[in-house]
Structure 1
Amino acid sequence: MEIRDREAVEADVEQASSRILEMLALGGKVTESGAMTARCADYDSGQHVYRARHPWSVYQVPFADMQKAMDRLRSELPKSGWEIRKDGVDGSVGKSPQIIAESEGRTFSLDVRLHKASEAGGAPELLEVTVESACYRTK
C-alpha cells in the first residue's frame, strides 16, 4: 500500500472532482465542501490507513439538464480513463439513477446519483457526487 501525504491526497481528490464537474458541464449551484480524510473501514483501527473523500452536489438546475449531464458522464468517463462498474439505480426508495466508476489504476472511485425532488417537498432535485481516493498509509 502506498505511503502518501494527507494534504496531497486531498488535493488529488479535489482535482479529480473538478474534472468530473467539467465532464458534467452543468450549470446551477455547487455545494462548497472540500475533501475530508477518514480511516479506511477495511483495515484494523490500529493501522494508519486512510482515504480522502470529497462529496458535493449540483442543484438549482432543471432535472432534464441533470439527466443529460448523467448521459455525458456515461460517454466521457471511459474516454478519461474511468471504468463504469455500475450504471443503474441505487437501493433507495426513490430508485435514484446511479453511476459507480473507478479510475484507471483504481486511484479514485466515483459515485454519482441523480435525485428527483421529493413529493413532500422536503428535498430538492440534485446531482450528488462523491469522489474517494484509494486507501493509503500516512507517513
Structure 2
Amino acid sequence: MQLGASALLMSLALMTLTGCGMTDTNSSDDIPTAGTSNSEDAADEAERISSELYDLIGVKGKASDTGPGVSECGGKDPEKYFTIFHPWSFTPASADELDGVMERLKTELPKHGWKVVEYGPDTSMNKNLSLTADNDEKKHSVKIVQMTKREPPKLSLTVVSGCYQVPDGEKVYRF
C-alpha cells in the first residue's frame, strides 16, 4: 500500500473513532481511552476483533493479509500513548455474495456488542454503502465500506482502537 493511501486510511479511521460514542474520554475532542497495553498486545487485539468481524460477514471469501499499524493519540505524548489501526479488505468468492451483507452486518453487529452509529451511502462518486460501528466494551470502532463497483467487488474494513497508554517504564513500539 502506498504511503498516501495509508495516511488517508488513518485519517478516515481517526475521524471515525473520534466521532464515536465510546466512553472514558477526557473531553469531547479526545480519542476514547482503551486502557494500558503494549503495542504488540494491542495489535493482537485489533486482529482478533477483525477476525470476529470476518466471521460476522458470513460468506465465503478471502481477507487481505494486511497487519495493524500504530499511530499517535492526537495531542498526547507519543512516547506513552498510541492507537492501533487495522485496514483490511474482504473479497467474496463470487460478487453476488455481497448482496445483503451490509444489511446483515447492520443487524448482527448489535447482537455482538457493537452500536451502529452511521449507515448509508458515502460521499464518493460511487455512493458506496458504508457502516460505522463502535464497541464500547472492546474500545474499538470499525468502518465498513461495500465497494460493489470495484473489480472485483469487495468490502473495505478499518478497525481502530481507542487510545492506549503503555505500561510504566515502556515506550510505544511503532510498526
TM-score of Structure 1 vs Structure 2, range by shorter chain: 0.7 to 0.9
The aligned counterpart of 2:96 is 64
The aligned counterpart of 2:143 is 111
5+ unaligned residues in a row in structure 2: which ranges? 1-32, 168-175
Task: Tell me how far 1:16 sits from its aligned partner.
Answer: 0.6
Q: Secondary structure at the match of 1:110?
A: strand
Structure 1 length normalisation: TM-score?
0.85
Q: Deviations over 1:93-116 (max 9, x none)?
A: 111100000003360000000012
Q: Distance in 1 between matches of 2:55 and 2:76?
A: 37
RMSD: 1.9
The aligned counterpart of 2:28 is none
The correspondence for 1:100, drawn from 132, 139, 143, is 132
Identity score, percent: 25
The aligned counterpart of 1:130 is 158
Structure 2 length normalisation: TM-score?
0.69
**Letter of the 1:13 counterpart:** A
Task: Tell me how far 1:51 sits from its aligned partner.
Answer: 0.8
5+ unaligned residues in a row in structure 1: which ranges? none
The aligned counterpart of 1:17 is 50
The structure carrying a bigger strand percent of its residues is 1
Q: Write out aligned runs for 1:23-62 (5 A).
A: 23-40=56-73, 42-44=74-76, 48-62=80-94
Contact residue 85 and residue 101 of structure 1 kept, 8 A: yes
The aligned counterpart of 1:3 is 36
Instruction: Judge which range, 66-75 or 56-65, deviates more.
Output: 56-65
Q: Deviations over 1:60-90 (max 9, x none)?
A: 5434321322122111100001000001111
Aligned residues: 134
Q: Secondary structure at the match of 2:160?
A: strand
Q: Secondary structure at the match of 2:105?
A: helix
Q: Distance in 1 between matches of 2:71 and 2:63?
A: 23
